[in-house]
Amino acid sequence: MSAFYVMIITSLFIAVAFLSAFIWSVRKGHYDDDYTPSIRILLDEPVSEKSTRKDK
Amino acid sequence: MNVLNEDRKQETAARHICYHCGEECREEIIIADGHEFCCNGCFNVYDILKESDLCGYYAVEGATGISPDKAYFNGKYDYLELPEVSGKIIEFTDHQLSRVNWHIPGMHCSSCIWLLEQLYKFNPAVRSSVVNFPEKKVRITFETEKIRLSELAALISRIGYEPYISLNDLGDRQIKKWNRTRLYKIGIAGFCFGNIMMLSFPEYFHLGNTGSDQNLRVTFGFLNLALSIPVLLYCAGDFFKSAWSALKGKYLNIDAPIVLALLSIFGLSLYQILSGTGPGYFDSLTGAVFFMLTGRFFQDKTYDGISFDRDYKSYFPVGVSVLKDGTEARTPITGLAPGDIVLVRNAELIPADAVLLSPEAWIDYSFVSGEAEPVSRKKGDTVYAGGKQTGTAIQLEVLRKVSQSYLTQLWNNDAFSREKEDQNKTLSARINRYFSVIVLIIATVTFLIWYFVKKDPETAFRAFTTCLLVACPCGLLFSSTFTNGNILSLFGINRCYPKNADAVECLSHIDTVVFDKTGTITRSEEADVQFVGKELSEDELVIIRTVAAQSSHPLSRMIVGNLGHIQLSKRSLGNYAEVSGAGIEVLWGKQEIRLGSAAWVGAPSENSNDLSFSRVYVSMDQVVLGYFAIRVQYRDNLPEAISALQKCGFKTFLLSGDKPADQPFLSGVFGNEAMLHFNRKPDEKLEFIKTLQNRENRNVLMIGDGLNDAGALRQSNVGMAVSDDTGNFSPSCDMIMEGRQLSRLPAFIRLARSGQKIIKASFAVSVIYNILGLFFAIGGKLSPVLAAILMPVSLITIVAFTTAASNLAASRIFRD
């Protein structure tokens, strides 16, 4: 049964890793806005006629 | 007879839609590049977009631009350069790059996101701009050296998105922080809950009863204890705080039973672990916290989504014009000191108690007292903060510094509408106050019976905690909040703007509808206007239109609309005065111009029998030039709307301050002549409403334009102001409705009534839920985790039910 102790510690570590990933993403602001990114991806970059991508 | 409206008629025959803002062009039309624009502002925005090669804006689906703020003037944002202001507004700076996060109330569609995120095309000094649409915010990073804060504000104002800058932006950052904290708490509670459940598996399946597993069992118990401590101390912290602050105020709120339940579960579990008598109920404890936090998060999200955000602070001129040595400078409102001389323009608010230095001012205290008539103040008089200047700009010397919070409080107080709102609030407060006490009594009695009579301590503890957890007053408390909130936004979609949820509730009790005439059931923009008198020169027409444009009276607006082809003069006017029921007077250079009734301009009042039109006389330097004969046009579908109201059992009245014009037509619409009341002065209108309410015990809806019937609007159970441009805000009314929607009035009342039915239904659902829940809890048949799950589930059911039911009702009512 001693294997249990190792497994419990491992499982707790994995869970803590996920928890810290969640906290990190909240801290980085991933959950501040759950609407705009879904719109932004559908909007095209304006295609300029005057300056045809010479700056790239 | 001078006929002016020939070409006007031809213009309105074909509708002109502004290419930029999508509104109908009402005045001068500007044509450029084959597109039509309603005003210079819209054209300028188009021009700016074209210059920066951003015409793709118009290709985004549903794109309608915003007409830029007309009140913009050069130097409006100069106060942003003041270090104490910029320090509060700039979020981050390293002296090369700075970042601001501005609230843009005008943002409304996906093309707004597109345009605001292309800011770098307008000015390369803008490094990036990122929009947060739900919060209506844009976060702009810019190069401090190359663009100043005031220039940045002017840039986005110019393309139509005026930032709303308030010195309370700091408070906003706290909201965001709090939002994140809430997510951390949910995350941690979920983490602990999940792990405790896993460690409790042996208990669930009655494993580990053999002696060799005893060590594991103890380890699991202590691990659970360790995992539950952060949940109790950190995640559930808000419950403790709220219960404690209510307790200090000597009453029990909803959180009190929850806190008691959590503490009793924790105490019992702690005892079991330490004494080795059992595994404890840590899974229930953490589960309860996790589900309740999730429920509250959901509840707040929904509430934010439907809440009617009328921020009273937005009426404040945050920057104040201060005169120093004859030059004007902008200062933040908090920087005002006694002795400062401030300049208050037309329609601006007086920021502090002050002494008037200009010869005369007309101050509208409607925000403070609800009295909409401006009062006259002479040089040397004291004027109080919160008044609104009407007329030309005035100078004031500040007497006392006034805190922004005082001004905000003034608005929120709304002394004039409090009595109407009372009944509903006390119901919620009463439920809130007694619910917790009743639940505590039930739980205690249950506990005592199980413990002493049935001698079953374990069930006693379980019944006690589940009673406390399962009883949820949320359904009772929030069924009206959520239903009314949703109905409020449904009203808004249909262009009727109630002041708050209580106004909707009052609307459902209405049985009598009283209409004002001019500007309410008549169309203010379109009327048959003819000038009778001497031939007017171009210059005189410019003068008349400019003077009339100063007033918001419906007749003045009709004249302005009729003289659409005449350019407005930009010159400033002296001694502007408007006397309600008489007319307006102004100095044009040295010429005295008067518009108004015959008596006002000094014309012989003709006692003609032709009452089918209103007259507005014009005089210049006491010479009467003639009068505008204005034949009003009634709104479309008016007879249908009123007969629909009558069919539903409403009593309808007409209450007009005018002469009895169009009597045959109106008596046909309103049933008979007894329903028509003409020649009523503002105070007589108020008396009329009072009589209806007191003698006949009626709930009166008064519909007016909010100008000369403010008293009647306030007296009525629901005062509705009809406005053709929603910027015209009269604080004494409970609702503002767009003029064109008047024919849908019966539908609005029907929607308000179905709202009441929905509230009653969800109230019943929630009562049944509580009784059932308590029934099982008292019997000790409910596990604490299940109780903790049921609580947010009941809330979600209520929210889903009220939202779905009110949306369904609205779609049925507004389908036709």
Whether residues A39 and B53 touch (CB distance < 8 A) is answered with: no
CB-nearest to A43 from B114, B188, B194 is: B114
Give B-chain residues touching A12 at CB under 8 angstroms.
195
Q: Domain ranges in chain B?
A: 6-59, 170-283, 317-413, 498-520+635-749
Whether residues B213 and A33 touch (CB distance < 8 A) is answered with: no
Give the strand pairing for B126-132 and B735-738.
Answer: unpaired
Whether residues B184 and A26 touch (CB distance < 8 A) is answered with: yes
User: Any idea how long chain B is?
Assistant: 816
Tell me the torsion sign for CA atoms B296, B301, B307, B313.
positive
Neighbours of A50 (CB within 10 A): 6
Whether residues A46 and B223 touch (CB distance < 8 A) is answered with: no
Quick: pLDDT tens for B326-381: 565 666 666 677 778 887 765 566 777 788 887 777 787 765 555 556 777 888 77
Reported as type and span, the H/E element at residue B99 is strand B97-103
Report phi then psi at B626, rounded to 5.
145, -165
Residue B23 touches chain A, beta carbons under 8 Å: no
**Nearest residue of A to residue B199 by CA position?**
A8
**Nearest residue of B to residue A27 by CA position?**
B180
The residue of B117, B122, B131 whose CB has the most chain A CBs within 10 angstroms, and thus the best one to mutate to test that interface, is B131
C-alpha–C-alpha distance, residues B103 and B84, integer Å: 19
Whether residues B180 and A26 touch (CB distance < 8 A) is answered with: yes
Instruction: Report the number of distinct structural domains present in chain A.
Output: 1
In sequence order, what are the beta bridge partners of B230? none
Neighbours of B7 (CB within 10 A): 9
Token pair 């003045």 is at which residue? B556
C-alpha–C-alpha distance, residues B743 and B753, integer Å: 18
- CATH architecture label of B317-413: Distorted Sandwich (2.70)
> Which residues lie below 8 Å from residue B153, measured CB to CB, with a gap of 6+?
B77, B80, B102, B163, B165
Q: At what angle do helices B457-470 and B745-778 cross, to 10 degrees?
A: 170
Q: What pLDDT score does B8 carry?
A: 41
CB-nearest to B188 from A8, A19, A46 is: A19
Residue B216 touches chain A, beta carbons under 8 Å: yes
Check if the beta carbon of residue B457 is closer than 8 Å to that of residue B535.
no
> Which residues lie below 8 Å from residue B703, measured CB to CB, with a gap of 6+?
B513, B514, B515, B516, B520, B720, B721, B722, B737, B742, B745
The residue of B53, B172, B207, B220 whose CB has the most chain A CBs within 10 angstroms, and thus the best one to mutate to test that interface, is B53
Whether residues B117 and A40 touch (CB distance < 8 A) is answered with: yes
Give A-chain residues touching B176 at CB under 8 angstroms.
32
Whether residues A35 and B134 touch (CB distance < 8 A) is answered with: yes
Give A-chain residues touching B195 at CB under 8 angstroms.
11-12, 15
Chain A / chain B CB contacts < 8 angstroms: 69
Token pair 């503890």 is at which residue? B461
DSSP state of B603: P
DSSP state of B329: E
Give A-chain residues touching B212 at CB under 8 angstroms.
1
C-alpha–C-alpha distance, residues B381 and B356, integer Å: 6
User: Is residue A36 included in any domain, yes or no?
Assistant: yes
Q: What pLDDT score does B415 carry?
A: 42
Note which residues in 638-657 of chain B have CB less than 8 A from chain A.
Answer: none
C-alpha–C-alpha distance, residues B197 and B227, integer Å: 11
Q: What pLDDT score does B316 carry?
A: 37
Tell me how close the Cα of A29 comes to any Cα of chain B, in angstroms. 8
Residue (of B21, B22, B41, B18) closest to B31 by Cα position: B18
Q: What is the dihedral of CA B611, B613, B616, B622, to 10 degrees?
A: -50
The span from the first CA to the last CA of chain A, in angstroms, equals 63
Query: B121-152 as b/e, with b when 16 or more CB fall inside 10 Å?
Result: bbeebbeebbbbbebbbbbbbbeeeebbbbeb
Whether residues A36 and B132 touch (CB distance < 8 A) is answered with: yes
Q: What pLDDT score does B11 carry?
A: 41
C-alpha–C-alpha distance, residues B665 and B671, integer Å: 10
Residue B131 touches chain A, beta carbons under 8 Å: yes
CB-nearest to A33 from B132, B213, B216 is: B132
Which of the residues in chain B have pLDDT under 50? 1-13, 170-171, 307-318, 404-405, 407-424, 426, 725-729
DSSP state of B318: S
Whether residues A31 and B183 touch (CB distance < 8 A) is answered with: yes
SS3 B775: helix
Tokens of A45: 């970059």
CB-nearest to B184 from A23, A39, A51 is: A23
Q: What pLDDT score does B744 carry?
A: 85
In sequence order, what are the beta bridge partners of B620? B593, B623
Check if the beta carbon of residue B503 is closer than 8 Å to that of residue B735.
yes
Chain A interface, Cβ < 8 Å to B = 1, 4-5, 8, 11-12, 15-16, 18-19, 22-23, 26-27, 31-36, 39-40, 42-44, 46-51
Dmax (CA) of chain A: 74
> Which residues lie below 8 Å from residue B157, measured CB to CB, with a gap of 6+?
B68, B69, B72, B76, B77, B163
Cα-only R_g, chain A: 23
**Nearest residue of B to residue A18 by CA position?**
B191
Check if the beta carbon of residue B278 is closer than 8 Å to that of residue B774.
no
Question: What is the spatial order of strands in the sheet that B360-364 belongs to?
Answer: B375-378, B360-364, B388-389
Residue (of B329, B384, B326) closest to B355 by Cα position: B384
Give CA separation, B234 vs B161, B189, B192, B351, B468, in Å: 41, 9, 12, 43, 21
Check if the beta carbon of residue B201 is closer than 8 Å to that of residue A11.
no
C-alpha–C-alpha distance, residues B271 and B264, integer Å: 11
The residue of A6, A10, A19 whose CB has the most chain B CBs within 10 angstroms, and thus the best one to mutate to test that interface, is A19
Give A-chain residues touching B297 at CB under 8 angstroms.
none
CATH of region B498-520+635-749, choose from 3.40.50.1000, 3.40.50.970, 3.30.67.10, 3.40.50.300: 3.40.50.1000
CB-nearest to B53 from A11, A27, A46 is: A46
pTM: 0.59
User: Is residue A27 included in any domain, yes or no?
Assistant: yes
Residue B294 touches chain A, beta carbons under 8 Å: no
DSSP state of B357: -
Check if the beta carbon of residue B708 is closer than 8 Å to that of residue B580.
yes
- Judging by beta carbons within 10 Å of its beta carbon (0-12, 13-18, 19+), is residue B74 exposed, middle or buried? exposed
User: Any idea how long chain A is?
Assistant: 56
Residue (of B63, B84, B288) closest to B159 by Cα position: B63
Tokens of B93: 């700076």
Check if the beta carbon of residue B472 is closer than 8 Å to that of residue B492.
no
SS3 B740: helix
User: Is residue A15 included in any domain, yes or no?
Assistant: yes
- Residue span of the structural domain in which A19 resides: 9-40
Give A-chain residues touching B121 at CB under 8 angstroms.
46
Give A-chain residues touching B188 at CB under 8 angstroms.
19
The HSE-up count of residue A16 (CA atoms within 13 Å, CB side) is: 7
Distance, CA of B363 to chain centre = 24
Note which residues in 267-286 of chain B have CB less than 8 A from chain A.
Answer: none
C-alpha–C-alpha distance, residues B219 and B223, integer Å: 6
Give B-chain residues touching A48 at CB under 8 angstroms.
53
Token pair 């039915």 is at which residue? B757
DSSP state of B742: G
C-alpha–C-alpha distance, residues B706 and B703, integer Å: 8
Tell me how close the Cα of A25 comes to any Cα of chain B, in angstroms. 10
C-alpha–C-alpha distance, residues B254 and B433, integer Å: 8
